Amino acid sequence: MMKPALAFLALTLLALSPAEAALTVCNKARSPARVALGRFDGRDWGSQGWWLLAPGQCADVVTGKLDARYYYLYATDGDAGVWDGNTGFCVGAAQKFTIPGRGNCASRGYDRKRFFRVDTNDNLNQVQNLQ
């Protein structure tokens, strides 16, 4: 049987443990969305996707420590809805892709899309809503 002081200490340590870090994307739109992520890992640029999000659904596109201040996202509902920006990354047509680099997309068999920048402000957790 645990003594009350030990139980209090254990609960305090659990409460003080850091929250799991993540970059989460939530689909607040009325249509399903496909989401791609662009990032710099400290050495190289690259992109990956697709996360398929139903309306109202969220997904962690980066789990663990957010090792960069800026991440880049592109999303589409497959019709007229697009969430884009000014930073080019390659995307694949397959349901899942991981593409090293950002350049020469067409010559490597990929499409080039314009991603928007997400500024995490060096927070441990960041939620980006698609609306």
Mind listing the pLDDT tens digit for each residue in 8-42?
333 333 333 345 679 999 999 999 999 999 999 88
Mark the ranges of the chain whose per-residue pLDDT is less than 70. 1-20
Q: What does the pLDDT read at residue 2?
A: 44
pTM reported for the whole predicted model: 0.83
CATH number of 18-130: 2.60.40
* HEC readout, the chain: CCCHHHHHHHHHHHHHCCCCCEEEEEECCCCCEEEEEEEECCCCEEEEEEEEECCCCEEEEEECCCCCCEEEEEEECCCCCEECCCEEEEECCCCCEEEECCCCCHHHCCEEEEEEEEECCCCCEEEEEEC
Give the start-to-end residue ranges of the domains of the chain. 18-130
